[in-house]
Amino acid sequence: MSKRLSKLGWIVIIALLTLALVAFPACTQTGEEEEEEENGGPAIPYKNDGIFVQMTIGEPETLDPAASYDNASGEQIDLVYETLVDYDRGAAGDFVGQLATDWVWNAADLTWTFTIRQGVKFHEGGDLSPEDVEYSFERAMIYDRLGGPTWMLFEPLLLAGEYAGLTFADVDATVEVDGNNVVFTLADAGYTLIWLQTICGGWGSIVDKEWCIANGEWDGTEADIPNHYQQEDGTTYLWTHMNGTGPWKLNQWEHGVQFKLERFDDYWREPAPFDFVISQLVEEWTTRKQALLAGDADFVLVDKMYIPEIEGVADLLKIKDLGELAVTSMFMNQDIETEDNDYIGTGQLDGNGIPGDFFSDPDVRKGFLYAFDYETAIRDIMLDEGITPPSPIVEGLLGYNPDASRYTYDLAKAEEHLKAAWGGQVWEKGFKFTAIYNSGNDMRKAAMEILAENLFEINNKFQVAVVGLPWGTGMVPLLRSYRLVLYACGWGGDYPHAHNFVAPFMSTYGTFSKFMSYGSAELDATIEAALLELDPEEQLDKYYELQQIWYDDAPAIMCWQPTGRRWFTKYIHGFFFNPMIPGDAGPLYYMSKSAS
């Protein structure tokens, strides 16, 4: 990202505030009274008093706040660690203090000053200090995990997308301790509101500096940076250990089975509403369904296609019509790592494999986009509870263009492009490779099967095997080694702005684009220009331009933006919706469970 950007006026800030202060779409709740007559079966019993049990399809990849960038990890981090500020329930532009009691913006010197709460204990006994805050942010930027969340810190503080090209002095100057305050200096006024929204996320979690250093983490000096910059996954102490200030602390992580948290008795606020929070890994739908109906689980993940099986069941708290800021896509890697790659067949365009640059031909990509049946996916997989966005900018964000150019299901056009691909060799020889989704996610599996079947219908030499792998231990290592060929994945917003969808999908440092080998310096500059445009109408035009670039480049298949639902037993109370909260179960600290 270019570092030569001018200071912004307050027009951008006002525009962002206007967006952010709009309340998120309301949800509709239905409970026992409305549904009771539909179900003649026995009532769901009240079980596990004082314990919240959820069943989902993925376990955390990492417990390190500086590395975590998946929903399952973020959910647990959100319950154990705390940030300086948090969203005020469902509001996108209103904030409440967590580890900060006050925060003040100084437009003259572009600083946010946070007063740090006193008397707060870490789970392992340490006392919270301003030095912990400074260390937490500097450690995250020094670590700068490949494909991780720290681009959101580098942009507002240094107008950069990553640590490469910077120095420790650059990072150190952005966050300083001043008595009981911590002062962040932004690089541009345009990030004023975005900074507050950004640090509400798990990457803004505060860790115990002394405890981290004692356990082999970065020691806070420039000399130790080479030992921790883009440290190998799984080797940080925080990868599998937790020490936060939040309402729950880590009790047990039984890999592949469950993740268990227990109440932290020295928590600085009111005690947590549950003695234990247990997240069980259950990929098979029928088992999740039976557990919910038996009262053994308080919340389970329900894929859209299974809604009819429980829609009429009484004793369930049913929440629907949630305006999710999320999208599911299928990504095509344009520069696949071929060494030791079991997913590309022979590694040649010989009918039994594909070469590493197979998707670098735009005719291949456009052929795949035309081969996906978008309407069938929305109707049969999503049960019409969602839309197909034309680009990564989803409905509900400033910059979304419902009339943008988009791909539709058209086998004739798909055939036309695939016949042209690789000078006709793709059509003549065919291809064979393996597409990947995270196991247990039956919706993504179904979408990939639609694509595979349609490609085979076009030409029976086109063979795509669809395989599910565990998220953290299967998909992620392949993703980060560029060995994934075509894969399905979802994106939920980190903060409610179009930039948070454009940058991950289109920038050279983006979470998805980096591992698709998509993006360019020129495109980065266009993304910057859209984010930092002074005039609201011009900004809208720039986001429309980016959506056209996305259409022209055809880097990925946009499958759906869902309309959300949640399913709890009727004994759960206090849920509210904010799409920035990681994990579908919601804001557990504000929720409760009772038989009444």
Same domain, 422 and 506: yes
Tokens of 514: 């980096």
Q: Which domain holds residue 200?
A: 10-246+570-593
Same domain, 464 and 494: yes
**pLDDT the model gives residue 29:** 54
- One-character DSSP codes across 362-396: HHHHHHHHHHS-HHHIIIIISTT-EE--SSSS-TT
**Quick check: 507 and 161 in contact, CB under 8 A?**
yes
Whether 181 maps to a domain, the answer reads yes
What CATH number does residue 415 fall under? 3.10.105.10
Same domain, 494 and 412: yes
Amino acid at 483: R
Same domain, 589 and 547: no
Whether 219 maps to a domain, the answer reads yes
Same domain, 452 and 512: yes
**pLDDT the model gives residue 14:** 33
Beta bridge partners, 258, equal 254, 280
Please choose, from the candidates 389, 343, 352, 311, the residue with its C-alpha nearest in 3D space to the C-alpha of residue 557: 389
Whether 312 maps to a domain, the answer reads no
- State the Cα–Cα distance between residues 64 and 80, nearest whole angstrom: 11
Residue 357: pLDDT above 50?
yes
Q: Is 237 exposed, middle or buried (CB count within 10 Å of its CB: 0-12, 13-18, 19+)?
A: middle
Same domain, 512 and 589: no
Whether 316 maps to a domain, the answer reads no
Whether 319 maps to a domain, the answer reads no
Q: Do you know the residue count of the chain? A: 596
Whether 310 maps to a domain, the answer reads no
Look up tokens 């509870």; give the residue: 385
Same domain, 530 and 576: no
- DSSP 8-state class, residue 309: H
Please choose, from the candidates 297, 506, 476, the residue with its C-alpha nearest in 3D space to the C-alpha of residue 393: 506
pLDDT over 70, % of the chain: 93
Say what the pTM is. 0.89
Same domain, 581 and 523: no
Residue 136: pLDDT above 90?
yes
Angle, to 10 degrees, between the axis of helix 362-371 and the axis of helix 411-420? 160
**270 three-class SS:** coil
**pLDDT the model gives residue 42:** 65
Residue 242: pLDDT above 80?
yes
Pair type for strands 486-492 and 326-332: antiparallel
Whether 92 maps to a domain, the answer reads yes
The average confidence (pLDDT) of the chain is 92
pLDDT over 90, % of the chain: 90
Same domain, 509 and 580: no
Give how far Cα 103 sits from Cα of 14, 17, 116, 183, 363, Å: 19, 17, 9, 10, 52
**pLDDT the model gives residue 16:** 39
**Quick check: 203 and 152 in contact, CB under 8 A?**
yes
Q: 42 Cβ partners below 8 Å, 6+ apart?
A: none
Q: Where are any strands of DSSP class E within 255-407? A: 258-263, 276-281, 299-300, 316-323, 326-332, 386-387
Same domain, 196 and 335: no
Same domain, 519 and 479: yes
**pLDDT the model gives residue 152:** 96
Same domain, 412 and 537: yes
Residue 166: pLDDT above 80?
yes
Reported as a single tens digit per residue, the pLDDT across 274-327 is 999 999 999 999 999 999 999 999 999 999 999 999 999 989 999 999 999 999
What CATH number does residue 134 fall under? 3.90.76.10
Mean pLDDT throughout 379-397? 96
- State the Cα–Cα distance between residues 235 and 29, nearest whole angstrom: 44
Number of domains comprising the chain: 2
- State the Cα–Cα distance between residues 418 and 51, nearest whole angstrom: 54
Give how far Cα 563 sits from Cα of 140, 514, 556, Å: 33, 28, 21
Q: Where are any strands of DSSP class E within 388-543? A: 431-438, 462-469, 486-492
**Per-residue b or e along 83-97, where b marks 16 or more CB atoms closer than 10 Å to that residue's CB:** bbbbbeebebbebee
- State the Cα–Cα distance between residues 511 and 442, nearest whole angstrom: 23
Reported as a single tens digit per residue, the pLDDT across 471-520 is 988 999 999 999 999 999 999 999 999 999 999 999 999 999 999 999 99
What is the helix, strand, coil percentage profile of the chain, to 5?
35, 20, 45
pLDDT-derived band at 8 (thresholds 50, 70, 90) equals very low
Whether 251 maps to a domain, the answer reads no
Tokens of 558: 């946009």
Please choose, from the candidates 309, 324, 313, 385, the residue with its C-alpha nearest in 3D space to the C-alpha of residue 569: 313
